[in-house]
Amino acid sequence: MFEPQTYAILMLVGFFVLLMLGVPVATTLATVGFLFGYLGFGDSLFNLLPARIYGVVAGYQWMAIPLFVFMGVMLEKSRLADDLLDVMGHIAGGVRGGMGVGIILFGVLMGATTGIVGATIITLGLLTLPTLIRRGYDKSIACGAICASGTLGQIIPPSLILILLSDIMQLSVGTLFAAAVGPGLLLAGVYIIFLLVLGMLKPDLMPPLPQAERDAVSRKQLWVRFWKVVVPPIMLVVAVLGSIVGGIAAPTEAASMGAVGAILITIGAGRFKWQVLKEVALETSKITAIMMFILMMAQVFALAFRGLHGEDLIVRMFEWLPGGVNSDIWFMMALIFVLGFFIEWIEISYIAVPLFLPVLINQGVDPVWLAMLITVNLQSSFLTPPFGWALFYLKGVAPPEVTIRDIYKGVVPFIAMQALTLALVFFYPQIALWLPKAIGW
């Protein structure tokens, strides 16, 4: 028989070995949790587990997840994104790098309405990538802008990451939504500045939209389409987020408003069909089921790891680090970044965050600020090879002349900009904290 903490170390080793072998994450969590939990303290794990799982999944806050997912999938199926992208392309296309800026702005708006990375990237890849290449855009820059734009939905509220972190860190969803506004807009702003500066320095990489194409749509037509296409989703965002941040509605209630609002927008666009509603319901069920299953299996892992005194190992590891609390935070950020190369944000949230959170909170770290650092950092997990999902989504719909090397090369500067934004939020916490304090959260 080994010491309990030896089993805890073997748990972590076994977890990463199974991941590298390609075993699904939920299965990996359950396997190592049950195996080493049983070896460490026998049948008592199975006696505690049902109450633990029920206590987690019965939480009222989880109802917001299928409702927000429904809102996003419904707007995706309504093909609102197609019209929205066309309008933004004409508005920003006259500037060098303007089409790239339009893609980032599209990502901001889609992130605040759908929040679905795959949907945004696939839409952008299908509709804009061939056009951008045909108009002389550098393939790598175009690919990088599309991938980065798609990931904005994971930090701009209502973000599923923020809902999960609110449960893990025992924080108000409204507080995290308010705190994420600053970092989310800052990240989008950094992307836009980069594209505009690059357009000025190297105009051949991102030429403006041809004058003839801009003249084909009059200002009056563009204004009418703007009100028809851009204003409805903005009003939906204001209604959903404004009701949460303003304390008018709970996140679940606001999510239900968003779901109904998405249906009304789809009806207004003349694209609502019962078949569409059926497809949206099925897709929502699949996404929600996957997330909840991982959540349940994470409880097996967490219960076993804590029972084997794994948290004591984490505390000792932080004690070995020089430099105090700042070094501890950056160590956690570095670990989350590295994990992002291999596993998704859901698994990182339920594995890394609970391990390190108690240590940092005991040192007086503001949990809301820490949640924003984690959220900004998790953006990179979508872009870092070999398992960056944004890369796979884009490659699946990219023209044949776009290679995976073009996509990898294109995301590198955007990963660097995510690191820059992370540093800015670290050194200037008020970027994240001013809005929650201003509204009294």
d(CA 409, CA 145): 11
Q: 67-101: per-residue pLDDT in tens?
A: 877 877 787 676 666 666 667 666 665 677 777 88
Cα–Cα nearest to 312, from 39, 2, 38, 5: 5
Identify residue 411 by its one-letter amino acid code. Answer: V
Burial pattern 390-411, b for ≥16 Cβ within 10 A else e, equals: bbbbbbebbeeebeeebbbbbb
pLDDT at 57: 75
Give yes or no for residue 287 having a pLDDT over 90.
no
Higher pLDDT, 299 or 365: 365
Q: Cα–chain-centroid distance for residue 298? A: 19
* Number of Cβ atoms within 10 Å of the Cβ of 25: 21
Cis peptide before 386 (omega within 30 of 0): yes
- Answer yes or no: are the C-beta atoms of 180 and 375 closer than 8 Å: yes
Supply φ then ψ for residue 42, to 5 degrees.
65, -150
pLDDT at 163: 82
- Answer yes or no: are the C-beta atoms of 81 and 280 closer than 8 Å: no
pLDDT band at 427 (very low <50, low <70, confident <90, very high): very high
What is the CB-side half-sphere exposure of residue 100 using CA atoms within 13 A? Answer: 37
d(CA 338, CA 333): 9
Give yes or no for residue 318 having a pLDDT over 70.
no
pLDDT at 387: 62
Q: 9-30: per-residue pLDDT in tens?
A: 788 788 778 866 767 767 887 8
Q: 192-235: per-residue pLDDT in tens?
A: 999 989 888 888 887 776 666 656 666 677 777 777 777 787 78
pLDDT band at 64 (very low <50, low <70, confident <90, very high): confident
Higher pLDDT, 316 or 144: 144
Give yes or no for residue 181 having a pLDDT over 80.
yes
- Answer yes or no: are the C-beta atoms of 229 and 80 closer than 8 Å: yes
Higher pLDDT, 343 or 8: 8
Is 320 exposed, middle or buried, given 0-12, 13-18 or 19+ CB atoms closer than 10 A? exposed
Give yes or no for residue 424 having a pLDDT over 90.
yes
Q: Which two tokens stand for residue 118?
A: 């795959």
pLDDT at 269: 74
d(CA 266, CA 378): 31
User: Stretch 2-12: mean pLDDT, rounded?
Assistant: 77
d(CA 60, CA 276): 28
Integer angstrom CA distances of residue 17 from 85, 343, 410 = 43, 12, 30
pLDDT at 212: 63
The total number of structural domains that make up the chain: 1
d(CA 380, CA 330): 15
Q: 333-345: per-residue pLDDT in tens?
A: 988 888 777 677 7
Least confident of 17-26, 109-118, 360-369: 109-118
d(CA 372, CA 166): 11
| One-character DSSP codes across 200-233 | HH-GGGSPPPPHHHHHTS-HHHHHHHIIIIIHHH
Cα–Cα nearest to 145, from 72, 86, 186, 194: 194
User: Stretch 184-195: mean pLDDT, rounded?
Assistant: 93
pTM of the model: 0.75
- The overall average pLDDT reported for the chain is 80
Give yes or no for residue 420 having a pLDDT over 90.
yes
For 17, the domain range is 4-438
Is 89 exposed, middle or buried, given 0-12, 13-18 or 19+ CB atoms closer than 10 A? buried
pLDDT at 375: 92
pLDDT at 108: 82
Cis peptide before 158 (omega within 30 of 0): yes
Give yes or no for residue 441 having a pLDDT over 70.
no
Q: Quickly tell me which residue has 């108009």 as its tokens.
A: 135
pLDDT at 189: 94
Q: 300: part of which helix (H) or strand (E)?
A: helix 274-307
Q: 244-264: per-residue pLDDT in tens?
A: 767 777 777 888 888 888 888
